[in-house]
Structure 1
């Protein structure tokens, strides 16, 4: 399951990165030709948010985020696993809060449209609850590795 989820996240990140690169390149080319696209910077901002949040979820799965594992290793062996669990619980709590508040914001923005294209602002903001949920799944899949490290002498 972890490998399939990792591949799906990698595909998602690559898709958004390619879309962002193509969209920004098209914006530059059109501007050079004297036909500035009115929507390209707004769409680029949205794509950048998707790249960032989905990439962060991928980083969580690969345990590539900044951490301080030395702090856990300095603890007595019996305290390492409880401390690692506390740290993970704190991260999970934050991500659940982020997903919940992100979803609540979608309801508030449901009637608003983007400035340059007739698309709901809620669609653009959906990156937060969707990727927070992906981040939660990634953290859960990485938890066994975290606990294994905490148990090492």
Structure 2
């Protein structure tokens, strides 16, 4: 399908189960209204409230173990320099099909919080500013 008015119509990838992607069309009036860009499928059970073990897939920040001297560098709040945001966001947005908006919001969040969570999705608990910054509608602002 050809999208003729990209400011009015965006495809947002919504994942309900691992490997099963559903594309939902959402009308938006500006880029500020686009609240969330999924960068990778979510493992089965994460979105389900029935599975009490779903939260065990993500580790709290205190349990993340550094593999080297600088493994957590850039992952904790305020640990990056502003010029280091672009490479971190490139890595964070590497698996999304929505690279431009992901990079835009990631760099905006990184400029404010000076951190980017490790990995291509999740792990937002290591950077509270990145995790808690919400849109006007209450959705997450940072990818």
Tell me the TM-score normalized by structure 1: 0.23
Q: Which has the higher helix share?
A: 1
Q: Which has the higher strand share?
A: 2
Tell me the TM-score normalized by structure 2: 0.24
| Higher Rg of the two aligned structures | 1
